[in-house]
């Protein structure tokens, strides 16, 4: 299955679609079916269907390649969205509302305009909606979003040097806890384990299951173990290397592969069985 990533607007998120039997390349404009209706976007990447993360929903197919009229209409719509964005900013200031406008999405047929914003508390935007409806002569919808969704919409480059996971391929946010960082022996420094949104990095969940499975067979920190150099206690685990740092009774510390470590409690149980 050939899968292509389609972007809507200048800074919109990239969504995957099934190209079907169409001959589509990067930078081609296409017409697709979205949750909001028929939309026009341009292809920014090609992917193999086997490389995609499992999803409960099947990918929607691309309807067809966009023609000149489709492209002209979409570019005009994008330009109009920028104009509406400025109009909304002015109205927010006039209404003195404590809200931050993030994005404007205008349906291609002009039947509705959706405004995405963030705010610390609930905002009474009834007067704002009236003013916008009067000026734009269309249906108005206001959607308050959280900081994670704000980052997802705005996009950017993370500390890893790649595009944000949330704005490139993640479809849904998974809960991320400090426990996940602890399981991976990461320093609990907010500056290092938090994203631009201020929340814990989404990528912490990617390898968490592997860390948990690997740690099942490792002695815990503080456990008494037997190694070739003698008896000691586990000071530190290295999950990736599958080794532990052991503090011996004489104060010496040694790094030992997991295969050469025997927990004292296990050794005692074996002795009793004999």
Residue 11: pLDDT band (50, 70, 90) is low
Q: Mean pLDDT across the stretch 62-70?
A: 91
CATH number of 73-148: 3.30.300.20
CA distances, 173 to each of 36, 54, 81, 158, 164 (Å): 21, 14, 27, 17, 13
| Model pLDDT, residue 269 | 45
Report the 10 Å Cβ neighbour count for 242.
Answer: 15
Residue 142 reports pLDDT greater than 80: yes
Q: Tell me how far apart the alpha carbons of residues 247 and 8 are, in angstroms, rounded to a whole number.
A: 57
Residue 27 reports pLDDT greater than 70: yes
Residue 272 reports pLDDT greater than 50: no
Q: Mean pLDDT across the stretch 183-187?
A: 88
Whether this model's pTM surpasses 0.75: no
| Model pLDDT, residue 123 | 93
What residue ranges do the domains of the chain occupy?
2-66, 73-148, 174-216, 224-273
Supply the mean pLDDT for the chain: 87
Contact 63, 41 (CB under 8 A): no
Q: Mean pLDDT across the stretch 52-81?
A: 84
What percentage of the chain has pLDDT greater than the value 70? 91
Q: Who contacts 176 (Cβ-Cβ below 8 Å, separation ≥6)?
A: 199, 200, 201, 202, 204, 205
**Element at 34 (helix H, strand E):** strand 29-34
| Model pLDDT, residue 148 | 92
pLDDT tens digit string along 83-110? 999 999 999 999 999 999 999 988 877 8
Q: Mean pLDDT across the stretch 22-32?
A: 90
Select from 2.60.120.10, 3.40.50.720, 1.10.3720.10, 2.30.30.140 the CATH code of 224-273: 2.30.30.140
More confident residue, 251 or 95: 95
């Amino acid at each position: 299955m050939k899968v292509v990533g389609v972007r809507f607007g200048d800074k919109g998120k990239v969504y995957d679609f099934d190209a079907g039997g169409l001959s589509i390349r990067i930078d081609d404009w296409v017409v697709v079916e979205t949750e909001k209706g028929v939309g026009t976007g341009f292809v920014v990447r090609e992917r193999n269907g086997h490389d995609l993360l499992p999803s409960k929903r099947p990918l929607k197919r691309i309807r067809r390649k966009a023609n000149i009229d489709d492209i002209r209409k979409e570019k005009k719509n994008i330009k109009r969205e920028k104009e509406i964005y400025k109009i909304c900013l002015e109205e927010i200031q006039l209404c003195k509302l404590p809200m931050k406008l993030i994005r404007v999405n205008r349906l291609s047929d002009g039947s509705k305009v959706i405004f995405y914003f963030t705010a610390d508390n609930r905002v009474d935007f009834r007067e704002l909606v009236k003013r916008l409806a009067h000026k734009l002569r269309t249906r108005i919808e206001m959607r308050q979003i959280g900081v994670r969704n704000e980052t997802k919409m705005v996009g950017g480059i993370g500390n890893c040097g790649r595009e944000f996971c949330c704005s490139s391929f993640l479809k849904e946010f998974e809960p991320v806890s400090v426990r996940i960082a602890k399981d991976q022996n990461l320093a609990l420094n907010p500056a290092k384990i938090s994203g631009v949104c201020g929340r814990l990095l989404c990528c912490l969940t990617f390898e968490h299951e592997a860390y948990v499975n690997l740690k099942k067979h490792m002695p815990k920190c503080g456990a008494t173990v037997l190694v070739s150099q003698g008896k000691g206690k586990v000071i530190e685990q290295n999950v990736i290397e599958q080794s532990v740092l052991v503090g011996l009774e004489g104060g010496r510390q040694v790094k030992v592969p997991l295969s050469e470590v025997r927990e004292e409690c296990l050794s005692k149980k074996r002795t009793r069985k004999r």
